[in-house]
Amino acid sequence: MATKPNVLVTRRWPKAVEARLEQNFNADFNLADRPLNHADFRDALTKYDAILPTVTDKLDAEALDVSKPRTELLANYGVGFGHIDLDVARQRGITVTNTPDVLSDCTADIAMTLMLMVARRAGEGERELRAGQWTGWRPTHLIGTKVSGATLGIIGFGRIGQAMARRAHHGFGMKIVVQNRSKVAPEVLAAYGATQVDTVEDLLPQCDFVSLHCPGGGANRHLINGPRLDMMKPGAFLINTARGEVVDEHALIQALSFDTIGGAGLDVFDGEPKIAPDLLQCDNLVMLPHLGSATRETREAMGFRVLDNLEAYFNDGNPIDKVQ
């Protein structure tokens, strides 16, 4: 890079990553650490060579409505990019990158955490203890569901889905059933003792647990809806660490409230950080505040992957993780 490009960092990042950004770029940081609005982004598109957004930034057609943007690159901090309107970005001549690979293990760890917590009623137990309501051990207290040896359905069998399968199959002896939009190589399935089915409808009735690892965006909005929740076993559990919009939360609330499924674990929500009030009333639900990648190692690795894409783009125009 002959000159340092001007870049906007839309949220605060780990200090080690921000230090390298300041060293290598003319970087402006959102010190308030609150999501930017459409007007903020339209203004930024006229001032910066690159913008570094996160999942909290809604870069839709309205936010990208600048006829001749200065911005050449949206270097996304995260693997998912459903919050970016790729068609409009393409029309504006803006390249988009993401950060694959680096967060698969930690997101799968959180999915396993949610699965174990909801199956063994850990959230209910902790709430009881903290409220001073525990009266001691008894044979019928907070009876949960065994995870080891159960059948796990995984919807979306990319890097994170496979990381989940590895933990579940090799760690807990679970039988793995997979639904993916494309055919999974036989050797990949064999590594996890997995079988692939054609449709979500084929998968749901077979499984004691269903874990979502598919992309977000319009194509998968409410992929899990009322009719599909009705296909799950009465005692089955739904786990979502993908994107909030993948689940119809109204339908999920109904299923949880009337015990038509065993429970659910959510790390993501439709319209987050706002949470549907009725979700808060469901005891058979474990909720986490979007912690999938929230380890120091992973959040730093995500930031450095963004920097790798930035440097590659402004050096030779070929970022390593080009989405489009």
Does residue 1 lie in a domain region?
no
Task: Give yes or no for residue 13 having a pLDDT over 90.
Answer: yes
The pLDDT mean for the chain works out to 97
Q: Are 258 and 306 in a shared domain?
A: no
Q: Are 83 and 135 in a shared domain?
A: no
CATH number of residue 260's parent domain: 3.40.50.720
Q: What is the pLDDT of residues 253-264, one digit of tens each?
A: 999 999 999 999
Q: Are 95 and 109 in a shared domain?
A: no
Q: Are 52 and 153 in a shared domain?
A: no
Task: Give yes or no for residue 2 having a pLDDT over 80.
Answer: no
Q: Are 17 and 95 in a shared domain?
A: yes
Q: Are 108 and 192 in a shared domain?
A: yes
How far apart, in Å, are the Cα atoms of 141 and each of 121, 133, 180, 279, 282? 10, 12, 39, 24, 18
Q: Are 97 and 110 in a shared domain?
A: no
Does residue 131 lie in a domain region?
yes
Does residue 39 lie in a domain region?
yes
* Burial (0-12, 13-18, 19+ Cβ within 10 Å), 212: buried
The active-site residue, picked from 83, 159, 228, 243, is 243
Q: Are 112 and 244 in a shared domain?
A: yes
The structure's pTM equals 0.94
Tell me the pairing of strands 194-197 and 6-9.
unpaired
Rounded Cα–Cα distance for residues 239 and 113 (Å):
10
Q: Are 248 and 126 in a shared domain?
A: yes
Does residue 235 lie in a domain region?
yes
DSSP string computed for 43-83: HHHTT-SEEE--TT--B-TTTT--SS-S--EEE-SSS--TT
Q: What is the pLDDT of residues 16-48, one digit of tens each?
A: 999 999 999 999 999 999 999 999 999 999 999
272 annotated active-site: yes
**Whole-number pLDDT of residue 32:** 95
Does residue 322 lie in a domain region?
no
Q: Which of 294, 285, 306, 303 is nearest to 107 (CA)?
A: 294
Q: Are 148 and 219 in a shared domain?
A: yes
Does residue 58 lie in a domain region?
yes
Token pair 């190589």 in the structure block, residue: 185
Domain count for the chain, please give it.
2
Lowest mean pLDDT among 69-78, 192-201, 211-220, 231-240: 211-220
Q: Residue type for 265, please?
A: G
Does residue 321 lie in a domain region?
no
**Whole-number pLDDT of residue 1:** 65
Domain span at residue 45 reads 6-102+296-316
**Whole-number pLDDT of residue 217:** 83
* Spatial contact of 152 and 204, defined as CB atoms under 8 Å apart: no
Phi-psi region of 93 (alpha: psi -120 to 50; beta: other; left: phi over 0): left
How far apart, in Å, are the Cα atoms of 99 and each of 25, 96, 103? 19, 11, 8
Q: Are 79 and 208 in a shared domain?
A: no
121 annotated active-site: no
Q: Are 110 and 203 in a shared domain?
A: yes
Q: What is the pLDDT of residues 218-261, one digit of tens each?
A: 889 999 999 999 999 999 999 999 999 999 999 999 999 999 99
The active-site residue, picked from 222, 290, 300, 311, is 290
For 251, list phi and psi in degrees, rounded to 5: -65, -40
Task: Give yes or no for residue 69 having a pLDDT over 90.
Answer: yes
* Spatial contact of 318 and 308, defined as CB atoms under 8 Å apart: no
Q: What is the pLDDT of residues 141-168, one digit of tens each?
A: 999 999 999 999 999 999 999 999 999 9
Does residue 49 lie in a domain region?
yes
**Whole-number pLDDT of residue 324:** 82
The active-site residue, picked from 18, 72, 272, 311, is 272
126 annotated active-site: no
